[in-house]
A and B are shown apart, each in its own frame.
Chain A
Amino acid sequence: MTALMDINQLLDELETGLRRILEQRGIDNPVLIGIRTGGVWLADVIGKRLGIEQPFGELDISFYRDDFSRIGLNPKVKPSSLPFDTEGRDIILIDDVIMSGRTIRAAMNEIFDYGRPASIILATLIDLGARELPIQPDVVGHSLALEAHQRVKLRGPEPLRIELQDSGQ
């Protein structure tokens, strides 16, 4: 396991990218939703950096996963919590890593069960490519291509760090 990439540099990228897109779209009152677990840590940090006072939402997508019929229910599911009305709001959805895009599809399905947001901006710290669905993040901290035996993981919450795991095969 090696730590790679300076987390603060990636967070800077995310912050800058988000500020730019919010300005372009004229959004001045967004709300943040993080996907458990890494996305929630990031929502906390990014919310402070962007000066969003509204407490962020936490999403557990276990009830929306598309592999329920293959592996059953995640036994460690926790309640989602969206401490605001999503109806008509501009949402920044944050996750640590995007790959297939299936997590984001599940997360968007869940968000729509709370109401109809005005818009959703997708921000991910790391983009690993290998998409299986037509879903692309609006803002990315860092893009990265991994070998088949490599895994990347965000550890946290204090301090946040990125770990590259190599099974060495």
Chain B
Amino acid sequence: MTANDPSPNHLQLTRDGQLRHFLTLDGLGRELLTDILDTADSFIEVGERSIKKVPLLRGRTVVNLFFESSTRTRSTFELAAKRLSADVLNLDINTSATSKGESLSDTLLNLEAMASDMFVVRHSQSGAPHFIAESVTPGVAIINAGDGRHAHPTQAMLDMLTIRQHKGRFEGLKVAIVGDVLHSRVARSQIRALNELGAEEVRVIAPGTLLPRDVEDLGCTVEYDMARGMKDLDVVIMLRLQKERMEGALLPSEREFYRLYGLNQEKLALARPDCIVMHPGPINRGVEIESAVADGPQSVILNQVTNGIAIRMAVMSMAMGGQMAERQQKQTDSEGHRA
């Protein structure tokens, strides 16, 4: 395996298959995804203690590098890093360096000079975390916190954790993802994770204008009619409708969208009675989901937020652990070489 191998896994995994960056779910097998979920389960227990902190990343510096704004994702990453005992630096790049004309590479060089051990990266351009992972100093872990329309792997994994908590399994589950799949990095990562973990059917429900071309190739079935799509569902995941899409002529109107694809109690009643309702947040009440459903007994939206902290703790500690084990291995190898 060479350094310029194009497959993401030579970038993401160490020689012995440990995580060292977390950029995409592509190429990660069921066993590793299950390890992430199991590790997160243990971190959920840590979150219930009187001292919600473990010493794994003590003395390490984690930089939250957000080139695109976010409240929930950034704060759960921050809390996750702090509960692992890391020192955390939050950088909102929109408003700082790049506006002064500094290039991405220069910003990174400066942060590396501050002896950072991990960058959590959100960027509006697909592939930015990969680019950083390729150029960063060895030993520094990169975590993708959402890049363009490409991937949002920690969000997908916290959703998987939530599904497993409520359903106990993936086999035999019918899961639908509803809404703006076209612009959604969350949906792409979810479809990938659900297929890898063995869900029976992943269904996308949306108007044709909000679906990517050849969407079936991602590993899902397509339904344009929501009433038909709700049938037999175990899990329904609503996507956020970004209001600016309304102006792009992809949709007739907000009201029309809600009438056709908004989730209300009548439509939810068409799914299985124990169907859970998920949403990556922030929710637009009355645009994609009715308040009675968002706050109702089948909603697990707030569980998703709690699980987000545990998943991020799992991914951060696994990637940092992989980096450190690899460094140790290299040291041992070079000592063996000299001897």
Chain A interfacial positions (CB closer than 8 Å to B): 60, 62-64, 68-73, 75-81, 109, 112-115
Residue contact A75 to B42, C-beta cutoff 8 Å: no
- Whether, in the assembled complex, B274 has its beta carbon less than 8 Å from a beta carbon of chain A, the answer is no
For A71, what are the chain B residues with a Cβ–Cβ distance below 8 Å?
321, 325, 328
CB distance from A115 to the nearest CB of B (A): 6
CB distance from B332 to the nearest CB of A (A): 10
Residue contact B42 to A68, C-beta cutoff 8 Å: no
Task: Tell me the bound Cα distance from A3 to B55 in angstroms.
Answer: 38
For B54, what are the chain A residues with a Cβ–Cβ distance below 8 Å?
63-64, 113
For A75, what are the chain B residues with a Cβ–Cβ distance below 8 Å?
18, 35, 38-39, 318
For B50, what are the chain A residues with a Cβ–Cβ distance below 8 Å?
113-115
* Contact with A79, one of B35, B44, B51, B55 (Cβ below 8 angstroms): B44
Q: From residue 31 to 59 of chain B, which have CB atoms closer than 8 A to chain A?
A: 35, 38-39, 41-42, 44-46, 49-51, 53-56
Q: How many residues of B contact A (CB 8 A)?
A: 23
Nearest 8 A-B pairs (CB), nearest first?
Answer: A72-B321, A79-B45, A72-B325, A63-B54, A73-B321, A113-B51, A79-B42, A69-B324
- Whether, in the assembled complex, B322 has its beta carbon less than 8 Å from a beta carbon of chain A, the answer is yes
For A68, what are the chain B residues with a Cβ–Cβ distance below 8 Å?
56, 321, 324
For B53, what are the chain A residues with a Cβ–Cβ distance below 8 Å?
113
Residue contact B45 to A81, C-beta cutoff 8 Å: yes
- Whether, in the assembled complex, B307 has its beta carbon less than 8 Å from a beta carbon of chain A, the answer is no
Residue contact A77 to B38, C-beta cutoff 8 Å: yes
* Contact with B42, one of A69, A80, A113 (Cβ below 8 angstroms): A80
Residue contact B42 to A60, C-beta cutoff 8 Å: yes
Instruction: Apart from A70-B328, A73-B39, A73-B321, list 6 A-B contacts with CB within 8 A.
Output: A60-B42, A63-B46, A63-B317, A71-B321, A71-B325, A75-B318
CB distance from B307 to the nearest CB of A (A): 14
For B45, what are the chain A residues with a Cβ–Cβ distance below 8 Å?
79-81
CB distance from B75 to the nearest CB of A (A): 22
CB distance from B53 to the nearest CB of A (A): 7
**Pairs across A and B, CB under 8 Å, 14 listed:** A63-B42, A64-B54, A68-B321, A68-B324, A72-B318, A72-B325, A76-B35, A77-B42, A78-B41, A79-B42, A79-B45, A81-B45, A113-B49, A113-B50
Task: Tell me the bound Cα distance from A112 to B49 in angstroms.
Answer: 10
For A77, what are the chain B residues with a Cβ–Cβ distance below 8 Å?
38-39, 42
Given contacts A72-B18, A78-B42, A80-B42, contact A63 B324 (CB under 8 A): no
Given contacts A62-B42, A79-B42, contact A73 B318 (CB under 8 A): yes
Residue contact A109 to B55, C-beta cutoff 8 Å: yes
Task: Tell me the bound Cα distance from A125 to B56 in angstroms.
Answer: 29
CB distance from A8 to the nearest CB of B (A): 34
Task: Tell me the bound Cα distance from A81 to B325 in angstroms.
Answer: 28
Chain A residue nearest to B324 (CB atoms) is A69
For B318, what are the chain A residues with a Cβ–Cβ distance below 8 Å?
72-73, 75
CB distance from B258 to the nearest CB of A (A): 41
Chain A residue nearest to B57 (CB atoms) is A68
Residue contact B325 to A70, C-beta cutoff 8 Å: yes
For B46, what are the chain A residues with a Cβ–Cβ distance below 8 Å?
63
For A63, what are the chain B residues with a Cβ–Cβ distance below 8 Å?
42, 46, 54-56, 317
For A72, what are the chain B residues with a Cβ–Cβ distance below 8 Å?
18, 318, 321-322, 324-325
